[in-house]
Amino acid sequence: MVQSMIRALVAVCLISLTACMGGESKVEQGNREGVLHYGNGSEPQGLDPHVVTGVPENKIIRTLFEGLAVKNPYTLEPEPGVAQSWDISDDGKQITFHINPNARWSNGDPVTAHDYVWSWRRALDPNMGNQYAYMLYPLLNAEAYATGKLDDAEQLGVQAADDQTLVVTLNAPTPYFIQLMDHYSTFAVHPDTVSKFGGATDRFTPWTRVGNMVSNGPFVLTEWKLNRYIRVEKNPLYWNAENVKLNAVMFYPTENLTSEERMFRAGQLHYTNEVPLDKIPVYKGMDNSPFVQAPYLGTYYYLLNTQKAPMNDVRVRKALSMAVDRDTLVSTVLQNAYVPAYSITPPDTLGYFPPKTFGYDPEQARQLLAEAGYPNGENWPGLELTYNTSENHRKVAVAIQQMWKDVLNIDVSLANQEWKVYLDSVNQMNFQVARRGWIGDYVDANNFLDLFITEGGNNNTGYSDPKYNEIILREAPKAATREERYALFRQAETMLMEEMPIIPIYTYTSKHLIHPSVKGMPSNLMDSLNIRYVWLDPNETLKAE
């Protein structure tokens, strides 16, 4: 009897350290006050929608800004945002967005179609250096303008018919275009505010700081304590404010997964960005577990800098990829929490299945390395694998480092970098091999394949193939049927994997610890957070049984 009581007490303490120490936790206080405490991964690079590129930034920006359309978190279908409705022409090449007359910037200014014209021109301006500019390439003349081949922004396929009517002209029918309206690269920014703190295309100016930012989303920025937290509070001028149930969200940088998991157990977080790999079996074994895992439209892979030796030799790139035993990696290090990947596009992306052009093949890997001039690792010049700070990334890197040693007899060093430094290294192509993950911005294979168009903002490999560009940018958009379009995608993806500018490792699943008081945050394929749906139930507590 005594032992049973002790075991029960230990179980309760495992779930909530605060309960054993006494006092009200942040989660309990947050449930009372309507404040969500959210583990967000890394400290954000910034909050300018036309500058940033990462998932940590995405979660924050989508509370501060709203696009023409937003994603329903249950269905992922587009629903009204700044645009209360839209019309698509019979040929699919013109979309007319009708701006909600009640949409307001946080300073009280109305959100207008002219704001979108100004913002999309900014996003596509070559001087902006927007790595996501290619997301708007379906727009008429967008590619030519973004690449400096066209100087006249008036020729872009975005026009304001009046304050409430935005007319968008596309190069070709684009099935996923409305989905793009919920991606921050297509968001409008407040022109006068951006201009007040610098030029329209200046990067990292003070306009995004507390007290300066003017935004149009359900929340406004009220605090930013570097490497501690970002606080956003409910925006009373938001057009749908009456249906926003939270009063505030606290975003915490939680790169250290062990610390993040402890914060959850101590009642300091409602939600964790990740879960340490070695804790997954523990949480899976619990009754009423807060562990939530779901399919996730994303691929974890290694970027290969094809412009630096020895990665400029396709035989070396293929050898490294074929020497990775993904099945063993997933079943051991990754606790069967992921699916081995052999392509950039996740399988069954809206019915698209990518080609598999290679597998784990130690003999072929050794032969290719020998043909490249490094038989059994002789004369190997060395190689460095760069990854951003994360215990899970480190474990994967160490395991693959050992596989390369065992199969190819080569030494690879590991370089751990803080998020902003890592992003700079990748963007400047100051690496040989670098960890990378890509999460779908919309549910379509194009979102993965257009990463590798020549000089694309997120193509940090040096890979360039005019035929690949032609297929992705021109042939596939004009395909008459889905089957024809997908056949073109498979052709392009086969070309990509034959050149191997990346090493696919695994297909993601989302994995979080979520307090039962959190409502309106369903699992979905994109792990998409729509904050206006979220609310907290103070009657729900975390139980250990």
Ordered by start, the domain boundaries in the chain are 2-42+221-272+514-536, 66-205, 296-509
Q: Which two tokens stand for residue 529?
A: 């957070």
pLDDT in tens, 4-40: 333 333 444 444 444 454 589 999 999 999 999 999 9
- Asked if the domains 66-205 and 296-509 are classified in one and the same CATH topology, the answer is no
Mean pLDDT over 214-239 rounds to 98
Exposure class string for 129-144: b at 16+ Cβ within 10 A, else e: ebbbbbbbbbbbbbbb
Beta-bridged to residue 85, according to DSSP, are 98
Q: Tokens 């002789």 correspond to what residue?
A: 378
Residue 515 above 80 pLDDT? yes
pLDDT in tens, 402-447: 999 999 999 999 999 999 999 999 999 999 999 999 999 999 999 9
Distance (Å, whole) CA 41 – CA 223: 18
Whole-number percent of the chain with pLDDT over 70: 95
**Contact by Cβ (8 Å): 147, 455:** yes
Which three-class secondary structure state does DSSP give residue 164? coil
pLDDT in tens, 76-114: 999 999 999 999 999 999 999 999 999 999 999 999 999
Mean pLDDT over 33-48 rounds to 96
For the chain, the 3-state helix, strand and coil shares in percent, each to the nearest 5, are 35, 20, 45
| Average pLDDT of every residue of the chain | 94
Which three-class secondary structure state does DSSP give residue 142? helix
Domain 296-509 maps to which CATH number in 3.10.105.10, 3.40.1160.10, 3.60.15.10, 3.40.50.300?
Answer: 3.10.105.10
Name the band, by pLDDT with cuts 50, 70 and 90, for residue 542: confident
Residue 16: the pLDDT is 47
Residue 22: the pLDDT is 57
Exposure class string for 151-167: b at 16+ Cβ within 10 A, else e: eebeebbbebeeebebb
Q: Is 279 buried (19+), middle (13-18) or exposed (0-12) by CB count in 10 A?
A: middle
Residue 12: the pLDDT is 44
pLDDT in tens, 198-219: 999 999 999 999 999 999 999 9
Residue 114: the pLDDT is 98
Whole-number percent of the chain with pLDDT over 90: 93
Distance (Å, whole) CA 300 – CA 436: 6
**Contact by Cβ (8 Å): 62, 49:** no
Residue 1 above 90 pLDDT? no
pLDDT in tens, 284-311: 999 999 999 999 999 999 999 999 999 9
CATH architecture observed for domain 2-42+221-272+514-536: 3-Layer(aba) Sandwich (3.40)
Mean pLDDT over 162-166 rounds to 98
Strands 83-88 and 78-80, sheet pairing: unpaired
Residues 6+ apart with CB under 8 A from 92: 170, 172, 173, 174
Instruction: Decide which of 54 and 237 is more confident.
Output: 237
Distance (Å, whole) CA 207 – CA 64: 13
Which three-class secondary structure state does DSSP give residue 83? strand
Residue 534: the pLDDT is 98
Residue 355 above 60 pLDDT? yes
Residue 455: the pLDDT is 87
Residue 335 above 80 pLDDT? yes
Question: How many alpha carbons fall within 13 Å on the CB side of residue 218?
Answer: 22
What is the value of pTM for the model shown? 0.89
| CATH 3.40.190.290 is held by the domain 66-205 | no
Q: What is the 3 state secondary structure string of 405-469? A: HHHHCCCCEEEEECHHHHHHHHHCCCCCEEEEEEECCCCCCHHHHHHHCCCCCCCCCCCCCHHHH
Name the band, by pLDDT with cuts 50, 70 and 90, for residue 194: very high
Q: Which two tokens stand for residue 183?
A: 């991606």
Residues 6+ apart with CB under 8 A from 133: 123, 124, 142, 146, 185, 457
Residue 162: the pLDDT is 98
